[in-house]
Amino acid sequence: MCGIAGYSLDGASQVRRTLAAQALLAGIAERGADAVGYAYRSTDSAVSIVKRRSGASALLDELYVPAAATQVLVHVRDYTKGHPTIEANNHPIRHGAVVGIHNGIIVNDDEIFERYGFQRATPEMTVDSEAIFALAEHADGRSEVLEELHGAMATSWLDERAPSTLFLARAVGRPLWIGTTGKELFFASTRDALDVLERTIRLSLRKRELDEGTLLHVVDGHVESVHRFHPDRSYVEETILPSVRAPQEGVSCLKRLAAIALAAG
């Protein structure tokens, strides 16, 4: 059970980029402590990635997003497949031009790679989530390709060939919430994480849970288009994992975030 979060902002948004990312990270910190990472994109197409094999508390103070950045992805990992000692298995994951994050499990990832003849981004990678981003790169973000994935999924990715767009999708088995204003769109695994964000950056959001089988194309803080797909519903998890996997990380990060926000004024 991982945690995902992030945002897309209009370039004119006054939201403090680093503080917003820190608030989202603190809000999802309790969902995993095997690895943590974030990615951002500024005015050009290139996506920068920072990740570490630790809980969120080890990265919270060091997290930095440039003021020009308009798109951010944040992830905490409680791993299932793809051991976190191999950095490439940890999120955000790069596959070619696509950089993405995922909460859930894909059970047919090896089949996807074999069917399409995809190569792993690095030979030692085994993480199942890479199949999502390999398909996304292959299909240029078309929603129907997500129907080929079997398992549970809430995901988001950036494509360096589409510099203005953040892709956000939910299949089945994992939650995904969005919060919007006129110039900003934020997302997170839980509504609570968006509540943390609201209190921290003092911004009121319209919040809703994203429907299963939905792919959003988000541009400059607003939903440009909505695409539907038929997610695989055959997968049943043998063991239902609790959503809170690292409670100490959540407590530590929220306490530290309060101090950071106070100092920021």
What would the pLDDT profile of 43-71 be if each residue is shown by its tens digit?
Answer: 778 999 999 999 999 999 999 999 999 99
Number of domains, the chain: 1
Percent of the chain with pLDDT over 70: 100
The model's pLDDT over 19-34, given as tens digits with 9 standing for 90+, comes to 999 999 999 999 999 9
Domain boundaries, position 64:
3-264
Q: Is the peptide bond before 231 cis (omega within 30 degrees of 0)?
A: no
CA distance 81 to 202: 38
The CATH number linked to 112 is: 3.60.20.10
What pLDDT is attached to residue 43?
A: 73
